[in-house]
Structure 1
Amino acid sequence: MIDLGISKLALIGAVALIVIGPEKLPTVARTVGAWIGKAQRYVTDMKAEVNRSMALDELKKMKDSVESAAKDVGQSIKSGTDDFEKTWAEATRVASDGHSSDSDYRVSLPEPVPEYRHPKKNWRLKQGATPNWYKARAGVRTRALSGAARVARYRPTKFN
């Protein structure tokens, strides 16, 4: 690599001032600065692209390993369910036929479990749990008004 110190940069600047001249030196310096900036941006873009490609390769390897693990799990589940179905078929066949090697062996089917029902929000319970003093302060209506009663209550008064 080129080792540029402050003394060498000062020497290059003095030679450029003599050769180029003081009139054109600022424009040449701007142009050289722009070229250096473009080169630095190009280098950083290339580094970022290389890092992205390396990360992409790592992600592909990780995806392949996760997919293979998922396939293994799926196969083990499938083999487990096949074994369970065979055992279940044999047990139900023995229970339905009534033939068994020992007479005490019986399969009892479990009682059906009731279907799950989501507990909905109970508005009345929620309203009843709120203290009356808080309802009065917050302006919560505790009684229903008919349309005629609401009109009579909120009708503007006439000024005489």
Structure 2
Amino acid sequence: MSTWRTRLHPETTTLRRAEPADALPAAEVWLRSFAAALPTVRRAHDDDGVRGWFTHVVVPHHETWVAVEEDGAVTGLLVLDGGELDQLYVDPDRQGRGLGGRLLALAKELRPDGLDLWTFQVNARARAFYERHGFVATEWTDGARNEEREPDVRYTWRPTV
């Protein structure tokens, strides 16, 4: 099993591939984070739909990593789908401690040729985070292609040569 260890204040967090038992805790992180970061965005699926999606689609069929505290609590998640960073969420209580940056560093290490991602235009905090980490906005849309129908922006990261 692949793991990464990182020091956060003061607990120890391990980044590892998600296992089936991590699906529901990861879904809960997603739900809390989405609610905190995007209170004005209409969710396309209810809580149970999100939990089912993590249980039956995300964890079993996508490269999913979780941040796990010493007590076993899942506090962050990263989902990669080919060269796409599909999901990156950190529990609101753990934000601002470097965990998102460590998850993003893991994604860059796993995809050294580059990454693409989408985020909502209203998510100024996420946009600033990705821009600080070398991502560049490459496409802006009106949201017609996403389930939430929320204007979004595509970001791209390519390693410097």
TM range (shorter): under 0.3
TM-score with structure 1 length normalisation?
A: 0.14
TM-score with structure 2 length normalisation?
A: 0.14
Identify the structure with the greater strand proportion.
Answer: 2
Larger Rg: 1
Identify the structure with the greater helix proportion.
Answer: 1
Which has the bigger relative contact order, CA under 8 A and spacing at least 6? Answer: 2
